[in-house]
Amino acid sequence: EPEVTQTPSHQVTQMGQEVILRCVPISNHLYFYWYRQILGQKVEFLVSFYNNEISEKSEIFDDQFSVERPDGSNFTLKIRSTKLEDSAMYFCASTIGGISSYNEQFFGPGTRLTVL
C-alpha cells in the first residue's frame, strides 16, 4: 500500500540553525500539506501546496518557513533560523485532490524536531 514517508524521524538542532524536513508524498497525489504538533497539543495546519505553489498558509507559517518541491518526488519544509518554540512533531500529508469533502489526507510518520 502506498504511503507518505518522512525523513529524518528525529532531528536535533541548535537554536538559530536552519533545518530541512523532507517528505515523499504518495506518487499520484496532487496536494501536499505540512502540519505541526507541539508536544501534548493539537495538530495545527502550517501550509498547503499545489501545482508548485503555496495554496494556503496559516498564521504560524511566517517568513522563517518555506516549502519546496525540488523534484518530482520530494516535498520539503525549511525553517531558516530555528527557535526553541519550533520544537514539535512535523507531519507531512498528501491527498489526491478533488471536489468532494472526502479526500483522505494520508499522513506521514512525522519528524520530531528538537531545538536546543
Partner 1 sequence: AQKITQTQPGMFVQEKEAVTLDCTYDTSDPSYGLFWYKQPSSGEMIFLIYQGSYDQQNATEGRYSLNFQKARKSANLVISASQLGDSAMYFCAMREDSGNTPLVFGKGTRLSVIA
Measured from the CB atom, the residue of 63 and 104 that comes closer to partner 1 is 104
Which residue of 19, 21, 35, 86 would you call a contact of partner 1, by CB under 8 A? 35
50 binds partner 1 (CB under 8 A): yes
Closest CA to 110 of 97, 82, 91: 91
DSSP SS3 for 85: helix
Closest CB to partner 1 among 19 and 110?
110
User: What is d(CA 33, CA 4) in angstroms, rounded to the nearest whole number?
Assistant: 11
Q: How many other C-beta atoms are found inside a 10 Å radius of the C-beta of residue 103? A: 14
| Interacting residue ranges for partner 1, rule: CB under 8 A | 31, 33, 35, 41-45, 48, 50, 55-56, 58, 89, 91, 95, 97-107, 109-110, 112
